[in-house]
Amino acid sequence: MSASLATKTASANNPQASVAPVMEVRGLSVVVSTAAGERSILSDIDLTVAPRSVLGIIGESGSGKTVLSRAMVNWLKPPLAITRGSVRYDGRDLLTLPAATMAGLRGREIAYIGANPTSALDPTVPVGHQILEKLRAVAPELSPQAARQRVIDTLDAVRIPSPKQRFDEYPFQFSGGMMQRAMIVDALVSNPKLLIADNITQPLDVTVAAQILRLLRDLQKDFDTSIVFVSSSLGIVSEIADDMIVLDRGHIVERQSVTGLLATPEHVYTKELIAKVPKIWATAEAPPEPSSDTVVLDVRDVDKTYRVRDRKAIFAERQVRAVRGVSFTVRRGENFGIIGESGCGKSTLSRLLSCLEQPDAGEIQFEGRDIATLKGRDLLGLRRRFQLLLQDPYNAIAAHASIGRTIAEPLLIHGLGNRREIEQKVKDVMAEVGLAPTLYNQLPIGLSAGQRQRVNIARALVLEPELLILDETLSSLDQVEQAKLLDLFETLQVKRGITYVYISHDLAMVRRVCARIAVMYLGRIVELADNDTMYWRSAHPYTRALLSAVPTVEAKPYRTGTYLLEGEPPDPIDIPPGCSFRTRCPFAFDRCATDDPSQTIYADGNASACHLPRNSLPAPELAH
Amino acid sequence: MAFAIEFFLRRISQGVVIVILVAFVIFTLLRIVPGDPIRIILGPMASATALEEKATELGLRDPIYVQFGRFMGQVTTGDFGRSFIRGAQGGSAGGSQDAVGYNPESRASVSALIANALPYSLQLAALGIAFAFLVAIPIGLGAGLRAGKWPDRLGLYVSSLFVSLPNIWVGVVLIFLLSAKTGWLPAIGYQGFAYTIIPAMVLAIELSPVMIRAISVSVAANLGEVYFDVGLVRGLSRRTMVAKHVLRNAAVPLLNLFGAQMIGMLLGGLFVVEYIFSYPGIGMLTINAVFQRDFPIIQAVAILASAALVAINMLVDFASTTIDRRLKF
């Protein structure tokens, strides 16, 4: 096996190979100039992109992969500067080309797609018109009608539904996944020879990312394009790439074929990288047990609908049904997880749970009292006992207040203690969450995301809450920092008996920490089960689709091909009749179109909302 | 289309309510300030009984809401009443007659006075805005497109200079330089289009600093947006990105500034400038009316000004939501 791998690697990365490479990078070095002098970002990068292949570049944040992908289109701006090396494309060195010639290649022969699809286009001009504008700019020989037709055909090729109509819609009417498809259209519409995809699946949900990967694979064959696929997720790169390059702090530490890299990694760093990919199934750790203590949070049939104005009709409103009939209970000292993709209603639910908004119908009881009816002093008193922690650690902290003052704020609001007591409490809690006492009088400038999130946690903990709602709290942190904070949450739980509600799209994290898990789709809980049942024997096709799409590097009980979802979740304005998941469900049958399945509660206490009996779904391909 | 109909139905009905409220406040204030209008109409020589008689006859002793209702009824037919002071033939007549001799028909109709003065003010305002655009657009664009370079500093210096010049002083200096000293342009009164030029320059100097800053900030902010950078990597030229996308996006905050701030500044500027140059527009009409306590003119101008502001803001908002479909109204 190793012999065949070696030949494959050689053909892809050896300049003397018979097929002429699409792009060759030799000895590329990039520095960044700062006030403190020059710092090296990339040093001595050699790589070769073979025709009709996908080259994966993997590296953690800060490894220089975005700089590398931009250098490959000669698109670096000060303070970044290329100090030496060459990027040869089609017999020419891109780095020495005149700016005008380079601009002629960029977007026409070498296309680049970035990680931020939603802000990549002018928000005030329809998407199709902007793609047309680009096509006309790089291919002026096409007639306006032919160019328009080509854009619409390419929109169709990336399976954007009703492309003619979508052509005239604005970027804000596109979801992140649709927008990334549109950017792929924008890149491929001029038939480029090379496509550089820089972390393009990063902002997308797992099921959408899986679709995009498959799509890119198909298109690469149809359009005969070579792809450089850059990502920080090993699970994702390994799905698409032929050969891989591992980048660590600006150096290439390993190059191998994908199968070779996963099977026999050579460099220590690659081994670390593989070990760091969170394991969902191949883990020895037992998941947390459900608690049998008293019920802390009891949510019953909660509904929330928002109204938005309809631009197409006079004095009409449309109803966005964000949360529909959600019920669950959380027991003291338990970790409860709520998972689902963007737009499923998780965030609305967290706003309802933390009493920032009132539900339209239903009740939310905290220790037996309906929080919706509380007002004024009672509500303030209750607020002390449950706290909400959000995702963005930057905007949640006032930039002009010292860290000590920020953490003391809730105590001052609730009038708890005199100045010395408050200072003592703040210092205690800072020590508890691992913030150095010297930070007490400092401003938050210069704190890392992880430290900032600790400040947020300290600010919540200082009130000694009983329930913490963590709405994507750890999503913006890297793996290492995330693991440290999870340990902190665990310690606090043991010490203070806190109950956590984790709201997240991170299935690996939820697998590690939550005892019971609810899966949301279009504002509704489609499955509610304990951890092991959820991950090994889930009863709902949507849960299985989610799990099959998780980018991991281990064997999965659910095969991606069996559960791959088509399309996107429907708009919560136009929820289809019958089962709301049926439009994407691979197992939908007649009844699903008319009957909305109610939750079936099984003997083991788990529940799911599906017409199919639990045992009629395909058997998991891995046994527990 | 449906959107446009709903937009205008909604905004016009809101606007009518706003204008009626403004009209009521102005109407009431002018009637509770010291000074009896009948005394202004008839002058200091009229006897007390004659005053009362005439006041009752003219309806000035009715409760304010009755007077207001009557007034608004007239306004809907385009009749803003008659001046207390000005004669139908021109000139002031206040205080020169007794009660018997006063005939409301002999006083000038407010609508006619305004209709006479309005074209002059519109001409001055339009030319002032045009001059301001002529200065502010090139300087502002240059400053926005070359942030941190010399055009940016030029924009800053020009706008700092202009903003610190009081318009009264600028008016006097320009009259001295361009009219008295050189004789290039006429300055006082109005006998032809040339009389509008110097006052319009004064207006432009007042308006342009805000415009320069707004344009440069808005353009520079859009150059920093992700879509601009991505556009260049997508293969569009910088020129295309600026002409087709940056300017379009930068227009939205500028339109709002124009509706919210510039029109107010322009109205205020008109009053001062018309007074300095004895320019026969609405500003001049209003200032004279204030000196003479000619309430019907003051209230009519105030109501029309609020209606104009409401209408302009409505149009500006419509233009903004047409450019940027994300905006709610």
- The whole-angstrom separation of Cα A20 and Cα A50 is 7
Contact at 8 Å (CB) between A529 and A538?
Answer: yes
Asked if B179 and B286 sit in the same domain, the reply is yes
In this complex, do A123 and B227 lie within 8 Å of one another by their Cβ atoms? yes
Amino acid at site A208: V
> What confidence score (pLDDT) does residue A6 get?
41
Tell me: do B165 and B298 sit in the same domain: yes
The pLDDT assigned to A25 comes to 93
Q: Mean pLDDT, to the nearest integer, of A347-368?
A: 89
Choosing from B112, B145, B169, the residue where a domain stops is: B112
pLDDT at B99 over 60: no
Q: Do the chains contact at A106 and B2, CB–CB below 8 Å? A: no
pLDDT bin (cut points 50, 70, 90) of residue B145 is very high
Residues B100 and B195 in one domain: no
Instruction: Find the length of chain A.
Output: 624
Summarised one tens digit per residue, pLDDT across range A14-34 is: 444 457 889 999 999 999 888
Of B5, B236, B248, the CB nearest to A124: B248
Asked if A131 reaches chain B (Cβ–Cβ under 8 Å), the answer is no
CA B183 to chain centre: 30
The answer to whether B90 touches B121, Cβ cutoff 8 Å, is no
pLDDT for residue A611 is more than 80: yes
How far apart, in Å, do the first and last CA atoms of chain A sit?
30
Contact across the interface for B2 and A311, Cβ inside 8 Å:
yes
What pLDDT is attached to residue B329?
63
Judged by phi (left if over 0) then psi (alpha if -120 to 50, else beta), residue A473 lies in: alpha
Task: Assess if residue B329 is contained within a domain.
Answer: no
CB-based contact, A78 to chain B, within 8 Å: no
The mean per-residue pLDDT over the stretch A410-415 comes to: 88
- Name, in order, each residue with C-beta under 8 angstroms of A99's C-beta and a sequence gap of 6 or more: none
Q: Does residue A258 have a pLDDT over 70?
A: yes
Among chain A residues, the shortest Cα distance to B246 is held by: A122
What percent of chain B shows pLDDT beyond 70? 94
Domain range for B38: 2-112
**Number of domain units in chain B:** 2
By the CB < 8 Å criterion, does A80 face chain B? no
Among the listed ranges A527-541, A594-608, B171-185, which one has the minimum average pLDDT value? A594-608
Nearest to A337, CA basis, from A557, A581, A454, A506: A506
Of all residues in chain A, the percent with pLDDT exceeding 90 is: 32
Band of pLDDT at residue A13, cut at 50, 70 and 90: very low
A362 Rama sector, left if φ>0, alpha if ψ -120 to 50, beta otherwise: left
* CB-based contact A30:A80 (threshold 8 Å): yes
Reduced 3-state DSSP string for A299-317: EEEEEEEEEEECCCCCCCE
Chain B residues contacting A via beta carbons under 8 Å? 2-3, 5-6, 9, 225-227, 230-237, 240, 244-245, 248-249, 252, 323-326, 328
Q: Which residue from A588, A581, A592 is spatially nearest to A546, judged by alpha carbons? A: A581
Q: Please give the average per-residue pLDDT across B203-212, as a whole number.
A: 93
Contacts of A141 (CB under 8 A, 6+ apart): none
Nearest to A123 among B2, B5, B324 (CB): B324
Cα of A210 to nearest chain B Cα, Å: 24
Amino acid, single-letter form, for residue A351 = R
Do B150 and B107 share a domain, yes or no?
no
- Show residues of chain B in contact with A75, CB under 8 Å: 232-233
Please name each of the domains of chain A with its CATH number.
2-109+190-276 (3.40.50.300), 295-377+506-616 (3.40.50.300)
B95: pLDDT strictly greater than 50: no
Residues B75 and B130 in one domain: no
Question: What is the token pair recorded at A270?
Answer: 């690659």
- Position B92 scores a pLDDT of 55
Percent of chain A with pLDDT strictly greater than 70: 97
The minimal CB distance from A315 to the residues B6, B230, B235 is found for: B6
C-alpha dist (Å) from residue A87 to A90, A547, B308:
10, 40, 61
Per-residue pLDDT for A11 more than 60?
no
* CA closest to A138 among chain B residues: B235
Cα gap B51→A22, rounded to integer Å = 100
Among B80, B97, B112, the domain boundary falls at B112
Please state, for a pLDDT cut of 90, what percent of chain B lies above it.
50
Instruction: Tell me the pLDDT band of A1, cut-offs 50, 70 and 90.
Output: very low
Q: Considering the domain boundaries, does residue B11 fall inside one?
A: yes
A residues 184..213 contacting B (CB < 8 A)? 186-187, 190
Q: What is the rounded average pLDDT for all residues in chain A? A: 86
Judged by a CB distance cut-off of 8 A, whether residue A75 touches chain B is: yes
Does B50 lie in the same domain as B187?
Answer: no
With both helix axes pointing from N to C terminus, report the angle between B167-174 and B263-276 in degrees, rounded to the nearest 10: 50
Q: Do A124 and B324 touch (CB under 8 A)?
A: yes
Instruction: Judge if B98 and B156 occupy the same domain.
Output: no
**Is the confidence at residue A426, as pLDDT, over 90?**
yes
Domain-ending residue, one of B63, B92, B112: B112
Q: Give percent helix, percent strand, percent coil of chain B, each to the nearest 5.
A: 75, 5, 20
- Residue B220 shares a structural domain with residue B185: yes
* B68 and B149 belong to one structural domain: no
Of the listed ranges A346-350, A528-532, A604-608, B97-101, the one predicted with least confidence: B97-101
User: Could you say which of A119, A133, A187 has the minimum Cβ distance to residue B236?
Assistant: A133
Cα separations in angstroms, B170 against B182, B195, B204, B208: 16, 16, 11, 14
A434-457: per-residue pLDDT in tens?
899 999 998 888 788 888 889 999
pLDDT at A588 over 80: yes
Of B5, B234, B328, the CB nearest to A314: B5
Residues B166, B186 within the same domain: yes
More confident residue, B100 or A495: A495
Average pLDDT of chain B is 87
ipTM, 2 decimals? 0.82
B119 pLDDT above the threshold of 90: yes
At residue A14, the pLDDT reads 45
Closest residue on chain B to A172 (Cα): B326
- As a whole number, mean pLDDT of residues B292-312 equals 89
Query: Is residue B328 assigned to a domain?
Result: no
Instruction: List % helix, strand, coil for chain A (3-state, nearest 5).
Output: 40, 25, 40
Task: Note whether A136 and A144 are within 8 A (CB).
Answer: yes
Say what the pLDDT of residue B91 is. 57
Q: How confident is the model at residue A61 (pLDDT cuts 50, 70, 90)?
A: confident
Taking only the tens place, the pLDDT of each residue in B19-62 is 999 999 998 888 887 777 777 777 777 788 888 888 888 888 88
Instruction: Tell me, yes or no, whether B75 and B167 share the same domain.
Output: no
B167 shares its domain with B209: yes
Report how many helices (DSSP H) and strands (DSSP E) chain B contains, helices first.
14, 2
Q: What is the mean pLDDT of residues B214-230?
A: 93
Chain A, nearest residue to B5 by Cα? A314
Q: Nearest CB to A309: which of B252, B324, B328?
A: B328
Residue A424 has pLDDT above 70, yes or no: yes
> CA A464, A466, A467, A470: dihedral to nearest 10 degrees?
30
DSSP code string of A361-411: EEEEEETTEEGGG--HHHHHHHHTTEEEE-S-TTTTS-TTS-HHHHHHHHH
pLDDT at position B101: 54
